[in-house]
Amino acid sequence: MNSNQSQMKAKIFIIFSLFVFLSYSSFAQSKAEKLGWKLGVQAWTFRNFSFSEALDKIKQLGLHYVEGYPGQKIGAGIEGGLDFNMTPEKIKQVLDLLHKKGIKMVSYGVVNIKSHEEWEQIFLFAKTMGLENIVAEPKPEDLAYISLLCDKYKVNIAIHNHPQPSHYWHPDTLLTALKLATFSRVGSCSDVGHWRRSGLNAVESLKKLQGHIIEVHLKDVIDAKDPSEETIWGKGGNDMKAVFTELNRQHFKGMMSIEYESNPADNMSEISQSINFFNTLIAGF
């Protein structure tokens, strides 16, 4: 066999492998949709790139959903960053970009809002963008006002848990805040990796918040004592199989954001392997 024939066989194998991967990925995503799960990516995962480039990477992964993060350079010839104070004209440009890329922006965060005026502005932004969720860590005293805005704009607030000493690091804190009143559109953005970084068991924390989970941030942390490094799902200490099994038991429906914070310059291989873990697991649900 000469070199040209060898190169041709190699190309055919690569094309066939890609076809098999995309076919299986399409099947798995169809299963995820039946479960009501929107597996996507928190754009912070691709913070070394523009929002436009992040969308391309999400598309390469076979996914269709994104959670935008504040300030990411938009790219694609659009000036500025992804900011909830963008003009209506720039919002339209971003919506056109999303449509062109075939990606739906479901949520936006994590935001820290300082005034009622800013809360009103970000809800207006979310409504105009067609978002389902704003991911935030609001002050407990603002929750009553935020709840009114949720009802007004038909947008959810998913309260995120950065590691301690962040206010919402423990699920009991959020449950206490939610007991102050009935907030039908206020709940948890459950970051399972940050719970491990805070020394908490992710599955037990999910159980505590049953009925209040709006969105999930997905990461597997290797060692809670050395929390900086993340790993491919199933290879860390978070028992991601148990995490997804618990979400399925709860009949959770909503956005599931991959947030892979390690190796931001070149993390596509790790994310692909995590998606393969997810696809193989949910095939049995």
Whether domain 21-282 has CATH 3.20.20.150: the reply is: yes
Query: What are the residue ranges spanned by the domains of the chain?
Result: 21-282
Is residue 15 predicted with pLDDT exceeding 70?
no
pLDDT interval class at 3 (50, 70, 90):
low
Give the 3-state secondary structure of residue 261: coil
Alpha-carbon Rg for the chain, nearest whole angstrom, is 20
Provide the pLDDT for residue 182. Answer: 67
Among 195, 260, 194, 197, residue whose Cα is nearest residue 224: 197
Provide the pLDDT for residue 242. Answer: 98
Q: pLDDT tens digit string along 54-98?
A: 999 999 999 999 999 999 999 999 999 999 999 999 999 999 999
Q: pLDDT tens digit string along 136-158?
A: 999 999 999 999 999 999 999 99
CB 203 within 8 A of CB 246: yes
Q: What angle do CA 19, 41, 133 make, to 5 degrees?
A: 135
Provide the pLDDT for residue 183. Answer: 78
Higher pLDDT, 145 or 27: 145
Return left, alpha or beta for 239; rule: phi > 0 is left, psi -120 to 50 is alpha, else beta: left
**Two structure tokens written together for 115:** 């005034």
Rounded to whole angstroms, the Cα distance separating 158 from 133 reads 6
Rounded to whole angstroms, the Cα distance separating 215 from 209 reads 12
Rounded to whole angstroms, the Cα distance separating 83 from 70 reads 6
